[in-house]
Structure 1
Amino acid sequence: MRFTLLIAGTLLPACFALSGCFNDEAISAENRDTSEKVVASDTQLTPWTAPELPSDLNSWVLLPAGNNVPADRVAVGTSGLWLLDATGNPITEPYSGRFSALDTRPLGSTLLSATLDEERDQTLLLGWNVEQQVFSAPSWLPATDYPVESLCFYQDPNDYLYLFLIGEEGSGQQWLVAEQQQLLTKPQLMRDLHLPVGAQYCAVNDQLHTLFINEEDVGIWAYPANPETNGERQIVDLVAPYGLLQDSAQGLAASSDGVLALNGNASLHRYHIEAEGWQAGAPLALPPLRDAERVFSRQSSASTEVLLADAADQQLYQAKVPQAALPVAAPPIVEIPAQAQTDSVPHGGDAADDPAIWVNPSDASQSRILGTDKRGGLGVYDLQGKQLQYLPVGRINNVDLRSGFTLGEQQIDLAVASNRDSNSLELFAIDPQTSKVSSLGRIPLPLSDIYGLCMAKGPQGDIYAIANDKSGRFLQYRLQAENGEVTGALVREFSTQTQPEGCVADDARQRLFIGEEGVAVWTLGTDPNQPGELSEVIRAEGPLHADVEGMAIYQAEKPYLVISSQGNDSYLVLDAEPPYQLRGVFRVGINTAAGIDGVSETDGLEVSSANFGSVFPRGMLVVQDGRKRMPQGNQNFKLVSWEQIAKALNLP
């Protein structure tokens, strides 16, 4: 049985209030009737008994095979936390306490459990040393101001271990608790979660990087588990009449290819993901269960083993559930941590956008990072990320700069930004002696909605500003000084067919690269006397995921073009010369020691090959971070060592 459920989660409250959003287009009546009348062949259940165990145990974890841990399963209840073999015999004395909810993962030579300590009303992290066979010193996460109903671990492809806390009042948290198989001395709060008010249970599928949550009387939701995602949810299934669930799910458990949901008196629903969305297999009957209330699982290569609790006879049952084949997972993209980050921009929401790097000619350690706040102005930061200035000039989007502009009798470095309030070029002077940035006014442009911008410098020293609007129209201006002011003369116009975003000029080779957001990266000559004919560099497909956003040139003996692949939160490094060979792809990940989160949804970026000192000896890449985590806050910019990028991608 197949059906697709892929409806924006934000519509659900209004849909239930209006009682009319979910109709036959969501799940056909034929599928709904069939699911209620016909189920697959009965699942073979085997009673699992452990007479010596107390009857208060409420949550179980089946440990994966082959983990060098003598325990086969873990359980908690009011009598403590128990480590058990496959027959239910304790392998050690229980850890005393009153606990509910549980998840457990092998972590190096430790078995790490997370459970709710009902005596302290906090989440307990407790390790059991496999070699010494003793419990480690306990630690607790900070208390929440809401009751926690469920918790789940998530292990990502880069060996970071996270813990989700699910609250019944629509609140939740995601914590980073371990990295590289080592428990953190101080867990880091990654983000707060906004969840359904009736959330009861959670389950995580590591292979699919997905968090599943049951919402009472509504259905089952799927959320991205990666903390750097936007948290958009998908419907897995809904309670009838909108979906195939007879009533609220009594439990969730990960399967090898998706998720399992316990529903009705005794049926197990199976779901897996396909290109069209979440698909349901025929529910499995669970005789002799009469009042199944919880389900727990572990995966093997051929099936998912489940443990079910039946409230009717207070008995546990085991079964094996067949699974569909999982698609071959793509190899993980290498992650490189940022070495520093700037202060957050003063405005919330989607505010930070584009950086520029000004290199101090006499002392590179006194260089500056300029960063646009498209809700208010321009920030100026030192190389440690501290904000030194903020110029509230309006909604500026992109910024770029060039050195050696003569203004009267003064030599300045000139920065230009696209100002969306005034559809103009916003001008700034950078004093090479003091590193101070000051406003120089603006040049109005005949654009209906100015958007992106970059600068270029010709072989004779002419400085250009190239601006675009959302229609795809590009205007190239020669900037010059007249009567103590900066003016612009239009010298060329060209266009893309759809909305562009960033652009960057390679002054050394007199090439201009422009990004057409959903299409490709193009190139043409910088010389305004050349025609505006575009040549393709790379399409927005394969490794480059739309939107195509910021771009920058790393100037060295071997020049590189760096592109923000916003659609999958990564960055591409290409040769900046034909045939523009792709050299590698990377992401900016977590720097736990420095307390710096990873980067996602990057708009603008800039790179420099200057030696900025011991941290950035071969230069730096500065990227806008669209989601500030660890902790949450307004957007900012991250600073990444080019030396680490070159090492990770084997660049010469």
Structure 2
Amino acid sequence: MNKAKQHLLGLSLAIASSALYAGSNNVTATLETRSHFDDAAGLNTDVDDPAIWIHPTDKTKSFVAATLKEGGMDVYDLNGKLLQHIAAGPAPACTSKQLKCEDNNAGRFNNADIIYNFQLGKDQIDLVVVSDRGLDKVIVYQVNQGDSTKAPLTDITAADQTFIFAANQDEVNEGFTAYGLATVKTDKTYAYVSQNSTPKVAQLELYDNGQGQVAYRNVQTLNFPHSFPLPNGKQWTPCADDDIDKPQFEGMVADVEHDILYLAQENVGVWRTSLSKPGDQSQWKLFAKVQDFGTPYSRSWVEEEQEYNCVLDHANDPGFGNAELYADAEGLTLYQASKGKGYLLVSSQGNNSVALYDRENNNQYVNSFTVIDGAVDGVDETDGMMVVNVNLGGNFKQGLLVMQDGQNDPKVFNGEGEYREGSNFKYISWGGVAKSLKLKTDTTDNSRK
């Protein structure tokens, strides 16, 4: 969604839903990372998705790898200090096979996730895996945990990997490319990658190519619905500002203990399916729907924007959605307590809150919270987030939640007085969330089990 429109929609929904959340379940962030700016001077950097890597022996040396879209990726320590910056890859050169080539897309890092104990040759290593929306590929980094002379991450992606969704570079330039990402290690190592502006998700197998690199191959593509039958007998398709666009997925997370892959279809809701049989549509369940699910709407063409403007008819909302979940449903992450307990966290972007669902008990809704202004500013328009339950020491003895803040404050203006759209990452103590929501905590490290 256009960020200006998204911001206005978020404000209106937050006001509309204030009675639901007012005065309760507010927490504050402990610290924040450096700010980035989505303009030419800021190299068009727009932060997106964090992944928390847990050090196996010294938890205080854990770090956060965080995507910056066109800006590449930052690696931060637990104090938010920059340890490493990785630039996004350059645009590939034009080829004779392209029908047209004015500008090929450069790299654009969208989502990141962690794999522990990947077998590469004779060694078990940890990986940070990133979806590259600009190049329609996945990039794999090795964590250099045993060598203090190296930067935290080294690219070990096998060369000449094929595109995930596109047939050629011309299709890559159209933008229907790799988007959201979740990784999981079961009998093999997989990455689930969604496609921008479609309801498709590719299941990739990551493997050792025998040359000290990690390669991947497509196992299958999951084609989720883009139109939905309603209890009143009608059919509903979410409103889009372009006829080509279909409701996409971004946030995804795997729960191995419960054999579940969770997927957030942004303006539809949250799905779950079987990890062992992800293609079995009989196990696909849309268990949490956004509040506006099924709401009628009108569209009008805006010539200057070259897109449609959607106006929802809230007066005739049929009430088929979940009251706690406001579109877009964005980042997903698991609070993984022992014995399969814990929570699925969902970023309810439309009202700047986080909804919790039980990992057990058929994903029953538990509660919601909002990160408000405190020692640092609060969190708005969150895309990606990740939580770990582990005692990381310092401010995060009961765990850490890192969230993307799409509207970082204080506001910054350039020399001509124009607002520079800024974003960064906020670190929130899970102990504070647990206290506010009266949740039990469990700091057992289950990351490598």
- TM-score normalised per structure 1: 0.48
**1:428 aligned to 109, 121, 141, which one?**
141
* Alignment check: 8 A CA contact 1:492 1:529 kept: no
Q: 1:415 and 2:128 equivalent?
A: yes
* Correspondence for 2:286: 536
Q: 1:445 and 2:159 equivalent?
A: no
Distance 1:417 1:580, change over 3 A: same
Deviation per CA, 1:332-364: give whole Å up to 9, x if none: 052100111112246546610000000011111
Deviation per CA, 1:51-106: give whole Å up to 9, x if none: xxxxxxxxxxxxxxxxxxxxxxxxxxxxxxxxxxxxxxxxxxxxxxxxxxxxxxxx
2-structure distance, mates of 1:327, 1:540: 13
Q: 1:525 and 2:253 equivalent?
A: no
* Alignment check: 8 A CA contact 1:455 1:466 kept: yes
1-structure distance, mates of 2:36, 2:400: 20
**2:34 aligned to 343, 347, 350, which one?**
343
* Alignment check: 8 A CA contact 2:10 2:349 kept: no
Distance 1:574 1:327, change over 3 A: closer
2-structure distance, mates of 1:421, 1:473: 17
Distance 1:350 1:540, change over 3 A: farther
* Correspondence for 1:504: 253
Offset at 1:507?
Answer: 2.1
* Correspondence for 1:205: none
Where do 1:151-230 residues align within 5 Å? 230=7
* Alignment check: 8 A CA contact 1:583 1:651 kept: no
Deviation per CA, 1:103-134: give whole Å up to 9, x if none: xxxxxxxxxxxxxxxxxxxxxxxxxxxxxxxx
* Alignment check: 8 A CA contact 2:353 2:369 kept: yes
Offset at 1:368?
Answer: 0.5
Deviation per CA, 1:396-435: give whole Å up to 9, x if none: 1011111101222332111111111210011111122247
* Correspondence for 2:406: 626
* Correspondence for 1:84: none
Instruction: Please state whether the residue corresponding to 1:361 is helix, strand or coil.
Output: coil
* Alignment check: 8 A CA contact 2:10 2:381 kept: no
2-structure distance, mates of 1:230, 1:540: 17
* Correspondence for 1:617: 397
2-structure distance, mates of 1:480, 1:331: 46
1-structure distance, mates of 2:18, 2:45: 35
Deviation per CA, 1:34-57: give whole Å up to 9, x if none: xxxxxxxxxxxxxxxxxxxxxxxx
Distance 1:623 1:328, change over 3 A: closer
1-structure distance, mates of 2:162, 2:126: 21
1-structure distance, mates of 2:391, 2:262: 25
Q: Which has the higher helix share?
A: 2
1-structure distance, mates of 2:138, 2:64: 19
Instruction: Please state whether the residue corresponding to 1:353 is helix, strand or coil.
Output: coil
* Alignment check: 8 A CA contact 2:335 2:342 kept: yes
* Alignment check: 8 A CA contact 2:164 2:218 kept: no
Where do 1:278-297 residues align within 5 Å? none
* Alignment check: 8 A CA contact 2:381 2:405 kept: yes
* Correspondence for 2:364: 581
* Alignment check: 8 A CA contact 1:455 1:465 kept: yes
Distance 1:342 1:429, change over 3 A: same
2-structure distance, mates of 1:327, 1:452: 28
* Alignment check: 8 A CA contact 2:37 2:45 kept: no
Distance 1:601 1:408, change over 3 A: same
- TM-score normalised per structure 2: 0.69
Deviation per CA, 1:525-562: give whole Å up to 9, x if none: 11257624411221111110000100000100322000
Offset at 1:591?
Answer: 1.9
* Alignment check: 8 A CA contact 2:157 2:215 kept: no
Where do 1:387-402 residues align within 5 Å? 387-393=82-88, 394-402=107-115
1-structure distance, mates of 2:32, 2:10: 29
Give the count of matched residue pairs: 333
**1:473 aligned to 171, 189, 200, which one?**
200
Distance 1:328 1:481, change over 3 A: closer
Q: Which has the higher strand share?
A: 1
**What percentage of aligned pairs have identical amino acids?**
33
Gaps of 5+ in 1: 1-9, 11-228, 235-272, 276-325
**1:334 aligned to 18, 25, 45, which one?**
25
1-structure distance, mates of 2:217, 2:361: 31
